[in-house]
Structure formats: C-alpha cells, structure tokens
Amino acid sequence: MAGALEPTTTARAGQVVRLPPGSRDVLPDEARELRAIKDALRTTFEDQGYGEVITPTLEYTDVLARGVLGDALPSYRLVDDHGAWLELRSDATVPLARVAATRFHGHDGPLRFWYSQTVYRPVPQLQGRSREISQTGVELFGVEGAEGDREILGVVAQSLAAIGLTEARLLVGDARLSETILRGAGVDDDTVAAAHGALQRGEFVAIEQLLGEAGLALDEVDRVVGLLRTRGDVSLLAAHADELGEPGAELRATIDGLAPADQALVIVDLGLVRGLDYYSGLVFEVVHPALGEPLGGGGRYDDLVGRFGDDRPAVGFALAVDWVHRAQAFGGAA
C-alpha cells in the first residue's frame, strides 16, 4: 500500500488516478441537467400525493434476500465489524416493501412513496454497464388490481410529460401472460419454466427448440413464439382473448380504463417479462427511440411485502436518471 501513497507526476495523473470501470464523475453542467430531471419527477410525484422515503445504502443481506424469489441480483457484499453480512442495495423496491411492512405495520389505507436513490450492481468489464445507477421512482402499496395499475401508469405518463420525453412509449404486458400462453399450448411445467427463463434473456430460438422438444408441432411452435413476440395496440388483447385468459382480460380492462392521453402511450407486448422475479401482474417498460434499452419500468408485485411480515398489494415503477438524460439529449425533449 505504501507505493500507492506516492504522488504521481502530473503528466501521468490522468492514467494513474482512475475510477472503477462502470463509474464516473458528474461535472457541473451535466449535474445541473440531472438535477432538473430529478426535480421535475419529484414535483410530479409530490403533486400526486407521494411522499419521499430514504432507506440505508447498506442493509443486512439476509433481510434483502427475503425480497428475492429466484436468483438474487448480483450485489456487493461485505462483512461488518460484528461479523454480519451487509449488502449495498441492488434494487430500490425491496427496501421500500420492507419499510411498508415494518414501519407501517397494520396500516389500512394506501401508502404512496417515492424515492431517488442509487442502486449498486457489480459490472462485467468492458460491457459499458453502470456500477452505480441513480433511480427515481414511486411505489403504491394497498391498492389492488386495475385501480392501482391505472394510477401508476398515469404517474408514468405525467412523469414523461414533465421531463419532456414526448417520444417515449410504454411497452405493457402482464407477468402471467407468457405462462398462460405456454400452458394453453399444453406444454409441461419444466418446459414452461425453461421457456420463461429463455424469454427473460430474449432467446427466442431457444424457446422454439424447447417447444419442439416438448412435442409441439412446427406450426404450433410458430404460433406460440409468434404470440410471445407480438406487440401492438390494445385490440390485440381482444383478438387473442382465448389464448390470453384471465390475465389478458384484466390487462384489457386496465388499459381501457386509462385516460385517452395515457392510453396513446401504450404498446401492448404479449411476451414482456422483466428481469426481477417479484412481479405478479402488470409489467411495463419505458422505451425511447434514441435508446437501445428501456429507460425505466415497473409493475405489480403483490407477493413481496408479505415476505416482510405485512401482506399487501403493491405496484410501482422507476426511471434511470442517466438514461432519461441521454434520451433528452438525443431528441424528443420539449
């Protein structure tokens, strides 16, 4: 370590004083624009009756692990001076579910929270991913089904207007749709689970193979994979009512009940799944033509809060502030 304390020559400082890959300094011009985004979102959320919650960066690993059904997100872990495992939060929703369950234990009415917090994710080298992601979002606890879903989609629409992203759209689906489609085709549980995993990774060729191995005829494989890749307006849900079952009917009712301006942002995506396993109903992603990946998203997670000891329905979303900023820079900002 002694060597590291030696001052560098000024000429080499740029190389030697480095930051971990995937992290960066934000200088004043950009910081001002990021603040403007966060301020606009905060005003939107506060105007809708949401109140800010701030949770610690470091929490016990075994507490955060309760929020995870399948594999945990990759995370930074360390042992504190008392031998306990701590983790830098890799997600903002799980800590807020914890707050709802423990600090508002037994509370009857709806809870409306917003946050602006950084989440931390280890990054593979050379992939251009961010280690520290500034997320701003809301969580609505205690309002079930279409009523809560519509409120959140409305807040998303107002947020996009507030930050001037007129070209952004919402890809909207339901976490149960892909399973309904697969089960409707008569495939077994193992194939459903494997195909769901492949869908999360966007591996449609792998899904075709799995369905073929499960005994589906070629045209039936094409039909199922075609459905999972289908995007379009809300009329899709009526056209495929049989294959989409109850989740399709609920999603249709939710979208039909949106204000016309909000509905105009919606693109139905029958195969939409999100990386996190806690979603139980509505799922959506915010997309923008200037970006190759979503700038945010969210959904319903009715089974998460109960893991912290106080069952209640929940729905929410978050935007990645750096991605919003990039979308604004590429056009579409008012």
Residues 248-307 that bind a copy of itself (CB under 8 A): 306-307
Beta carbon nearer to a copy of itself, 78 or 217 = 78
Q: Report 207-226 residues binding a copy of itself (CB under 8 A).
A: none
Beta carbon nearer to a copy of itself, 309 or 331 = 309
Report in angstroms the alpha-carbon separations of 277 from 164, 188, 225, 267: 31, 20, 21, 22
Amino acid identity at 111: L
Q: Quick one: which of 257, 297, 294 has its CA closest to 278? A: 297
Beta carbon nearer to a copy of itself, 124 or 215 = 124
Long-range CB contacts for residues 194-198, cutoff 8 Å, separation at least 24: 196/273
Establish if 103 lies at the interface with a copy of itself (CB under 8 A): yes
Establish if 125 lies at the interface with a copy of itself (CB under 8 A): yes
Q: Report 14-53 residues binding a copy of itself (CB under 8 A).
A: 14, 16-20, 23-29, 31-32, 34-35, 51-53
CA distance 77 to 122: 10
Q: Quick one: which of 84, 148, 70, 118 has its CA closest to 318? A: 118
Count of CB atoms situated within 10 Å of the CB of 53: 17
The interface region with a copy of itself, picked from 6-14, 143-151, 219-227, 324-332 by CB under 8 A, is 6-14
Write the Ramachandran bin of 117: left for phi over 0, alpha for psi from -120 to 50, otherwise beta: beta
CA distance 103 to 260: 37
CB 230 within 8 A of CB 222: no
- State the nearest-atom distance from the C-beta of 305 to a copy of itself, in Å: 11
Token pair, residue 296, equals 């945010």
DSSP alpha helix (H) spans, 91-163: 93-103, 145-162
Beta carbon nearer to a copy of itself, 151 or 285 = 151
Q: Report 73-102 residues binding a copy of itself (CB under 8 A).
A: 76-78, 80-82, 84, 86, 88, 95, 98-99, 101-102
Establish if 8 lies at the interface with a copy of itself (CB under 8 A): yes
Beta carbon nearer to a copy of itself, 18 or 275 = 18
Size of the site for a copy of itself (CB under 8 A): 71
- State the nearest-atom distance from the C-beta of 61 to a copy of itself, in Å: 8
- State the nearest-atom distance from the C-beta of 47 to a copy of itself, in Å: 14
Q: Report 127-186 residues binding a copy of itself (CB under 8 A).
A: 131-132
- State the nearest-atom distance from the C-beta of 35 to a copy of itself, in Å: 7
